[in-house]
Amino acid sequence: MDMMDPFVQQRWRELQEMQREDERERDREADLRAETAYLRVRLADSYMRNGKTARAIAEYKRAIKLDKQNGMFHTRLADAYVMAEDIPTAMAMYQRAIQIDPFLAEPRSSIGDLYIRYGMYWHALEQYREAVRLEPERAFFRYQLGDILERVGMSRQAVEELTEAALLAPKMAFYRFRLAVLYQQLNQSEEAYTHMCIACRIAPHDDYYLVRLAGLAMATGRQCDGVAYLQKAMTLRPRNEGYQRLLAEAYRVTGQHDACEAICHRLGKIGPYDEEFVTRRMGEWQLKAQLRM
């Protein structure tokens, strides 16, 4: 280079600078295309939230034209097709997303949701197991896997997954509630009571959780606590006749016959819906009482 003519050296530097500028221009164009694609997706997401599915599909497609190798864009497009009830196209888009990015968990969970929708639980189980393998820290994936395991009769494994979901999302009361219900179905009332207590601590104003906690308290020999939980539920839903009937029965079980009679006299004849509700809840008390004997 030192032996070159000064003119040649100058020309060489100009060519190098032109090459660098060309590379910078390509980078700017790529950044602009990516930014535009994401703006398209955000617009499509807005259309989805407002139920404008056709417009959302159009915008997702425009985004994909700008970034053909983005698996998440294909997943979003597939979601829009699900909303439009075009399931075959949605499945094709989810599969395409997986081909583009095999480490993407979202399309697998969405395929799993479609299988659940059509009662194909073993296929759903396969998809959610893979989704959990890819993203083991996603509480919702753990919950869905636990729910599917319960549906196919693998209750013990379901407990493990629901426990993980509850630990990963400690502020999600519903996960604790589902775990409690599953333990109750497995005739493990103490474990069920423990988790229902946690659910009620997380969501203290959920009257239905309190009613279910009251049932578990009655089933585990904590009758006075059961009455207290029902009374608290009544403060949250004072006009719920089913709760009042259940409280009357709790009074009867704990020997408070006057309080029981006062509620029954005030309410009069029980309707079929409330009768079914009270019978179902009390059936849980009696079942657990029998199991303790």
The answer, yes or no, to whether residue 8 has pLDDT greater than 80, is no
State mean pLDDT over 198-212: 97
Structural domains of the chain in order of their starting residue, each with its CATH number: 205-293 (1.25.40)
Helices (H), the chain: 6-49, 53-66, 71-83, 87-100, 106-117, 121-134, 139-151, 155-168, 173-185, 189-202, 207-219, 223-236, 241-253, 257-267, 272-292
User: Looking at 63-77, 98-112, 196-210, 267-281, which range is the least confident one?
Assistant: 267-281
Structure-token pair, residue 118:
């059509």
Of the candidates 150, 148, 221, 226, which has an alpha carbon nearest to the alpha carbon of residue 181?
Answer: 150
Task: Say which residue, 290 or 105, is predicted with more confidence.
Answer: 105
Structure-token pair, residue 77:
């497009």
Residue type, 151: R
pLDDT tens digits for range 226-266: 999 999 999 999 999 999 999 999 999 999 999 999 998 89
Percent of the chain with pLDDT over 90: 71
Regarding pTM above 0.75, the answer is yes
